């Protein structure tokens, strides 16, 4: 076997390993175990009085709206990927890319996400590796830019006292661990966004040098030749991205904005499904943005366990003061926004692997 064939085979094997369906079990186990343990300690001396939760047509309607908002969120991402690829991929290809991307994000630690392997997803759909790298960096820049500008905007509109108040701990309190989670998460996003923005729009050679340095590590060295070619392609493609019109970037950021706003309104819809919830909708929206910054520091796959904890504690003021209710609602939230990607991924991932890597293996074994 030639060195080139061996490198291709190793690359394919590494991608397939990251997409193995058995990786589903760890985040699901962590999430469900956390919910079970929390429910046990909160309810061991009492029972959930379900009379505080409203069930009926209204519940079904608002849960449907919550699911619809997630569909809108993913559709906006599909539109964005088509904009960035200049419609060089079909709607089906865009759907596969987004599902694969979300699946890998769900089985990876929150700080890692699925971005590192998303280049392969786009490349396997017919886009050059360099352009795929530029597109992934552009999506990362747009996502992080949303947080970079929206966090200070929410502080200005809502105020730090309201934004970081929890229960009896009102006002901005520097002993509040959630404040530090948010600051650490925002700092990470801000620095990452500045690095990507500068490299993508001002000095793509910086990104190229970073890629080459990264692939200089022993365990990545076998892909250094491909990384160098990708770096050169990235420099060329980043020049093309810099030449895009303001309207092009307005459309790309517009879809980014829609996708995140739709995802945030899911919680409002869930609250409306179960509780009499008449005020504080914008504050819930603002707190979710802060909550996502906190979740960035989670070391668990997809933020499992940590996300449910943050949700049940940080948004507890908007739910009835009843033991177990907050963690149950947090679990419903994850059922709508997180676990469906495992189900859809279980159908999409095996077929995509067989289609893309199976063909490559046959072609390179000829």
* Per-residue pLDDT at 362: 45
Buried b or exposed e, range 196-205, using 16+ CB within 10 angstroms: bbebbeeebe
Per-residue pLDDT at 221 exceeds 90: no
CA distances from 63 to 70, 78, 269, 346 (A): 11, 23, 7, 23
Q: Is 159 exposed, middle or buried (0-12, 13-18, 19+ CB in 10 A)?
A: middle
Q: Most confidently modeled of 19-28, 273-282, 316-325?
A: 273-282
Instruction: Tell me the per-residue pLDDT of 147-200, one tens digit each, with 9 for 90 and over.
Output: 999 989 988 888 877 877 765 555 555 556 677 778 888 888 888 888 878 877
Instruction: Tell me the per-residue pLDDT of 13-60, one tens digit each, with 9 for 90 and over.
Output: 555 555 555 555 656 566 567 656 665 555 554 555 555 566 778 889
Structure tokens at 329: 């609602």
* Per-residue pLDDT at 351: 79
Contact 360, 16 (CB under 8 A): no
For the chain, what percent of residues have pLDDT higher than 70? 64
Sign of the dihedral defined by the CA atoms of residues 79, 115, 348, 223, in that order: positive
pLDDT band, residue 8 (cuts 50/70/90): very low
- Better-predicted residue by pLDDT, 48 or 242: 242
* Per-residue pLDDT at 348: 81
Q: How far is residue 324's CA from residue 47's CA, in Å, rounded to a whole number?
A: 8
* Per-residue pLDDT at 337: 86
Q: How far is residue 148's CA from residue 212's CA, in Å, rounded to a whole number?
A: 28
Per-residue pLDDT at 207 exceeds 70: yes
- Better-predicted residue by pLDDT, 88 or 203: 88
Structure tokens at 312: 């049940």
The radius of gyration of the chain from alpha carbons, rounded to an integer in Å, stands at: 22
* Per-residue pLDDT at 40: 56
Instruction: Tell me the per-residue pLDDT of 63-74, one tens digit each, with 9 for 90 and over.
Output: 999 999 999 999
Sign of the dihedral defined by the CA atoms of residues 272, 95, 130, 247, in that order: negative
* Per-residue pLDDT at 255: 96
Q: How far is residue 105's CA from residue 112's CA, in Å, rounded to a whole number?
A: 8
- Better-predicted residue by pLDDT, 83 or 43: 83
| pTM tops 0.85 | no
Q: How far is residue 66's CA from residue 13's CA, in Å, rounded to a whole number?
A: 37
* Per-residue pLDDT at 37: 65
Report, as an integer, the average pLDDT of 332-342.
84
Closest CA to 267 of 310, 324, 321, 323: 310
Contact 139, 130 (CB under 8 A): no
Q: How far is residue 110's CA from residue 34's CA, in Å, rounded to a whole number?
A: 17
Identify the three-state secondary structure at position 42.
Answer: helix
Report, as an integer, the average pLDDT of 255-266.
94
Per-residue pLDDT at 111 exceeds 60: no
pLDDT band, residue 142 (cuts 50/70/90): very high
Closest CA to 146 of 86, 192, 81: 192
* Per-residue pLDDT at 25: 61
* Per-residue pLDDT at 193: 86
Contact 147, 341 (CB under 8 A): no
Q: What is the mean pLDDT of the chain?
A: 75
CA distances from 67 to 62, 63, 257, 267, 331 (A): 9, 6, 18, 11, 14
Structure tokens at 331: 């679990």
* Per-residue pLDDT at 301: 60
């Amino acid at each position: 076997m030639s060195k080139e064939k061996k490198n291709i085979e190793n690359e394919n094997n590494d991608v397939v390993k990251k997409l193995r369906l058995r990786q589903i079990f760890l985040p699901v186990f962590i999430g469900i175990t956390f919910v079970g343990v929390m429910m046990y300690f909160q309810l061991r001396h009492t029972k959930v009085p379900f009379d505080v939760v409203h069930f009926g047509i209204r519940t079904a309607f608002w849960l449907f709206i919550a699911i619809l908002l997630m569909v809108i969120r993913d559709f906006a991402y599909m539109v964005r990927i088509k904009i960035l690829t200049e419609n060089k991929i079909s709607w089906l290809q865009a759907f596969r890319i987004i599902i694969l991307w979300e699946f890998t994000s769900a089985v990876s630690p929150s700080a890692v996400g699925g971005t590192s392997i998303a280049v392969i997803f786009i490349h396997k759909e017919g886009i050059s590796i360099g352009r795929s790298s530029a597109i992934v960096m552009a999506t990362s820049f747009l996502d992080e830019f949303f947080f970079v500008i929206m966090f200070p905007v929410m502080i200005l509109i809502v105020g730090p006292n309201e934004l970081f108040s929890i229960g009896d701990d009102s006002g901005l309190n520097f002993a509040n661990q959630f404040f530090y989670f948010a600051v650490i998460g925002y700092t990470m996003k801000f620095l990452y966004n500045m690095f990507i923005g500068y490299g993508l729009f001002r000095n793509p050679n910086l990104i190229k040098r970073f890629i080459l340095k990264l692939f200089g590590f022993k365990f990545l060295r076998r892909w250094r030749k491909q990384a160098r070619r990708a770096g050169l392609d990235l420099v060329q493609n980043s020049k093309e991205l810099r030449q895009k019109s303001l309207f092009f970037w307005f459309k790309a950021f517009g879809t980014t904005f829609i996708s995140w706003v739709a995802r945030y309104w899911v919680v409002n819809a869930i609250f409306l499904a179960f509780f009499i919830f008449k005020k504080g909708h914008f504050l819930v929206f603002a707190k979710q943005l802060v909550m996502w910054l906190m979740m960035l520091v989670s070391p668990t796959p997809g933020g499992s366990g940590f996300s449910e904890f943050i949700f049940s504690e940080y948004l507890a003021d908007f739910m009835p003061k009843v033991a177990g209710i907050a963690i149950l609602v947090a679990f419903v939230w994850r059922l709508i926004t997180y676990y469906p990607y495992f189900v859809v991924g279980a159908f999409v991932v095996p077929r995509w692997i067989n289609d893309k890597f199976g063909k490559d293996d046959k072609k390179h074994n000829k």
